[in-house]
């Protein structure tokens, strides 16, 4: 666990216990030349600062409440699979090599019969309403690359969303508002050349940042026009761009 959680707001201790019991089985941010899909698609500067300041990062449970909700949704769906209510490959980690690096990622659900790869996401309605979902698209396609590298055929990628703030009263009244709280969203599937080049380019940037000290600034898109820096970046206080 790379994040130290605090309870400054004096929330019930169960919330802190839930966060500290996280069963993440991927590589630590300090690992050498192995990177998770989540970090690979994240801003290079942000991940690099997480690596540099790993022992200094803290987050209060009040800021991480939505993480608990997301973990709970995944746990529920995984339990359904274990009970036989969901067939296919569930919550399995894959790894593949690209140049001198290893990329690793855990898929949520894959149906070998149809070749459909599904990622579960707990999010706000705004995320679903965005016309372009660059990070979702990159994540699903790198996961599909991992599946292919491990012998599977992926024909389609999609997100099954759980909209935590869905309001039925807004359906039909607000343009683009999702009609139900658990929509399935098709994600464009990249060809092999495109996804391989994307991975090579990202690893080149991480190689430069981690081992050569060349750390570029986050783009406007990566900072969500500054919203990520303000409310959703654990290393904002260390960031020269946010000074």
CATH architecture of 13-236: Alpha-Beta Complex (3.90)
Q: Are residues 145 and 180 in contact, defined by beta-carbon separation less than 8 angstroms?
A: no
pLDDT (0 to 100) of residue 69: 80
Neighbours of 208 (CB within 10 A): 15
Cβ neighbors of 82 (< 8 A, separation 6 or more) are: none
Question: What is the β-pairing status of strands 89-98 and 58-60?
Answer: unpaired
pLDDT (0 to 100) of residue 243: 67
Q: CA-to-CA distance for 224 and 219, rounded, in angstroms?
A: 9
pLDDT tops 80 at residue 232: yes
Cβ neighbors of 2 (< 8 A, separation 6 or more) are: 28, 29, 30, 50, 54, 57
Among 95, 185, 74, smallest CA distance to 147 is for 95
Phi, psi dihedral angles at 47 (to 5 degrees) = -65, -40
Instruction: Write down the domain spans for the chain.
Output: 13-236
CA distance between the termini of the chain? 27
* Rounded mean pLDDT, 55-65: 88
Q: Look over the chain and give the mean of its residue pLDDT values, rounded to a whole number.
A: 92
Reported as a single tens digit per residue, the pLDDT across 91-150 is: 999 999 999 999 999 999 999 999 999 999 999 999 999 888 899 999 999 999 999 999
Cβ neighbors of 232 (< 8 A, separation 6 or more) are: 224
Q: Are residues 146 and 101 in contact, defined by beta-carbon separation less than 8 angstroms?
A: no
Q: Are residues 40 and 199 in contact, defined by beta-carbon separation less than 8 angstroms?
A: yes
Paired tokens of 50: 């997480």
Angle formed by the axes of helices 134-149 and 192-211, nearest 10°: 100
What secondary structure letter does DSSP report for 15? Answer: H
Q: What is the pTM of this model?
A: 0.92
Paired tokens of 8: 């400054």
In the block, tokens 């987050």 appear at 59
Question: What is the β-pairing status of strands 101-111 and 34-36?
Answer: parallel
Q: CA-to-CA distance for 235 and 57, rounded, in angstroms?
A: 7
pLDDT tops 60 at residue 197: yes
Q: CA-to-CA distance for 126 and 135, rounded, in angstroms?
A: 14
Q: How confident is the model at residue 1 (pLDDT cuts 50, 70, 90)?
A: low
pLDDT tops 70 at residue 73: yes
Coil, strand or helix at 31: coil
Q: CA-to-CA distance for 95 and 36, rounded, in angstroms?
A: 9
């Amino acid at each position: 666990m790379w994040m130290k959680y605090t309870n400054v707001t004096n929330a019930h201790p169960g919330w802190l216990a839930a966060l500290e019991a996280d069963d993440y089985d991927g590589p630590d941010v300090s690992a050498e030349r192995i990177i998770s899909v989540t970090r690979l698609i994240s801003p290079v500067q942000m991940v690099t600062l997480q690596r540099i300041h790993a022992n200094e990062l803290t987050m209060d449970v009040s800021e991480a409440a939505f993480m608990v909700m997301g973990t709970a949704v995944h746990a529920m769906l995984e339990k359904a699979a274990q009970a036989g209510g969901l067939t296919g490959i569930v919550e399995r980690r894959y790894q593949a090599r690209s140049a001198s690096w290893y990329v690793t990622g855990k898929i949520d659900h894959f149906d070998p019969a149809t070749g459909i790869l599904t990622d579960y996401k707990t999010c706000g309605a705004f995320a679903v309403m965005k016309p372009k979902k660059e990070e979702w698209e990159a994540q699903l396609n790198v996961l599909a690359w991992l599946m292919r590298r491990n012998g599977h055929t992926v024909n389609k990628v999609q997100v099954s969303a759980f909209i935590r703030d869905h309001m039925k009263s807004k359906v039909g009244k607000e343009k683009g508002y999702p009609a139900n709280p658990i929509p399935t969203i098709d994600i464009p599937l990249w060809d092999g050349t495109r996804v391989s080049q994307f991975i090579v380019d990202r690893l080149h940037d991480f190689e430069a940042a981690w081992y050569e000290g060349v750390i570029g600034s986050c783009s406007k898109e990566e900072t969500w026009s500054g919203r990520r820096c303000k409310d959703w970046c654990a290393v904002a206080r260390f960031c020269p761009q946010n000074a």
